[in-house]
């Protein structure tokens, strides 16, 4: 591919990015996993928001919806969130990269930046639900599947039959060296 990954800039995901982010999401996920504009906006608006964008020459190539949250308490797909309670972990809710950004390590760059920001704020653990067979990808970034309670298993099932609860420490060697 002729694209140079050094031209990719990672910065904050903003409300004007929503149309492009929703289009990227529609390419990547089946309808039952797609979030609406209000769900995206609510994550961006959280005081502990780590929602990021990857851009090349102003074009959105990928995004990460991530936020501080309560441990082992994932929000439901499509939930509109409000600030509530202390942030115990970094919850990675959604990572998606447009076809034009594949092979540029955009996902890794977004996760590494979110980890750095969360670590500055004192968060030491990251959690996520791997969907649609993505557990292998997340494993390469140091996440491991963890046993879950019945209550958490029920929440994870809301993300699809193949969904997997995963977690890792933040600050132990970077996103690839969990």
CA angle 54, 55, 61 (to 5 degrees): 70
Segment 20-37, tens digit of pLDDT: 999 999 999 999 999 999
Percentage of residues in the chain with pLDDT exceeding 70? Answer: 93
Annotate 118-127 with b (16+ C-beta within 10 A) or e (fewer).
beeeebeebb
Q: Can you give the pLDDT at residue 86? A: 81
Alpha carbon distance 80, 43 (integer Å): 8
Kindly give the pairing relationship between strand 52-56 and strand 164-169.
unpaired
- Domains delineated in the chain: 5-169 (3.40.630.30)
Residue 4 has what pLDDT? 55
* 61-87 residue pLDDT tens: 999 999 999 999 999 999 999 987 789
Mean pLDDT, range 129-152, rounded to an integer: 96
Distances (CA, A) of 86 to 43, 54, 63, 175: 15, 28, 24, 24
pLDDT bracket for residue 91 (50, 70, 90):
very high
- Per-residue confidence (pLDDT) for residue 171, from 0 to 100: 80
Provide the β-strand partners of residue 144. Answer: 167
Mean pLDDT of 117-146: 96
């Amino acid at each position: 591919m002729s694209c140079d990954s050094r031209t990719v800039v990672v910065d904050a995901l903003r409300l004007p990015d929503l149309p492009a982010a929703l289009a990227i999401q529609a390419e990547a996920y089946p309808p039952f996993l797609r979030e609406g504009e209000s769900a995206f906006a609510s994550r961006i608006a959280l005081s502990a928001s780590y929602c990021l964008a990857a851009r090349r020459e102003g074009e959105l190539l990928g995004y990460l919806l991530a936020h501080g949250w309560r441990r082992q308490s994932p929000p439901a797909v499509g939930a509109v969130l409000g600030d509530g309670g202390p942030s115990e972990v970094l919850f990675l809710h959604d990572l998606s990269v447009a076809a034009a950004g594949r092979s540029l390590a955009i996902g890794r760059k977004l996760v590494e930046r979110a980890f750095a920001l969360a670590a500055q704020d004192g968060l030491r653990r990251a959690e996520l639900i791997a969907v649609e067979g993505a557990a292998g990808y997340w494993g390469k970034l140091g996440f491991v599947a963890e046993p879950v309670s019945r209550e958490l298993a029920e929440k994870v099932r809301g993300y699809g039959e193949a969904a997997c609860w995963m977690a890792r420490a933040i600050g132990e060697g970077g996103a690839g060296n969990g």
